[in-house]
Amino acid sequence: MRTYTLTPSEIKHRWYLVDAEGVALGRLASAVAQMIRGKHKPEFTPHMDGGDFVVVINASKVRLTGRKREQKQYFRHSGYMGHERFTPVARLLETRPERVVQRAVFGMLPKSTLGRQALRQKLKVYGGPEHPHAAQQPTPVSVRKGA
């Protein structure tokens, strides 16, 4: 018996709509990363892009558990000595809430060209309830809100 491998002609990309309002950030990122990668499909093939497009709305209303809103910081470095920058997640949620969801999903994707390509092409994140992808007729998906 041979292992089934997906061929490029068999790939079908669907569109999903996820509402992030009241959903914990980690649960949201985990569910979205699986859909982008295609792991929710029975014909998942690790070396091929068989994932689906995901539109996340209401990113500004995502829930952070514990004291993460006050304590969590994002780190970046310019490459020069002493030029590290720390951005609090509370400030990023006010100014660019899409980035918080994108960074969380990126952390759950493989660090390869396939993972970077999937993040760049398949993830669409919007801070409010409006999105320009109505023509694709995305299927609404609910992510468990959890405790």
Pairing of strands 73-77, 84-88: antiparallel
Q: What is the CATH number of the domain that holds 24?
A: 3.90.1180.10
Residue 58 lies in a domain: yes
pLDDT tens figures, 73-130: 999 999 999 999 999 999 999 999 999 999 999 999 999 999 999 999 999 999 999 9
Give the H/E segment covering residue 121. helix 113-122
Residue 74 lies in a domain: no
Residue 2 lies in a domain: no
**How many domains does the chain fold into?**
1
Domain range for 137 is 13-64+100-141
Residue 81 lies in a domain: no
CA distance 141 to 19: 8
Residue 76 lies in a domain: no
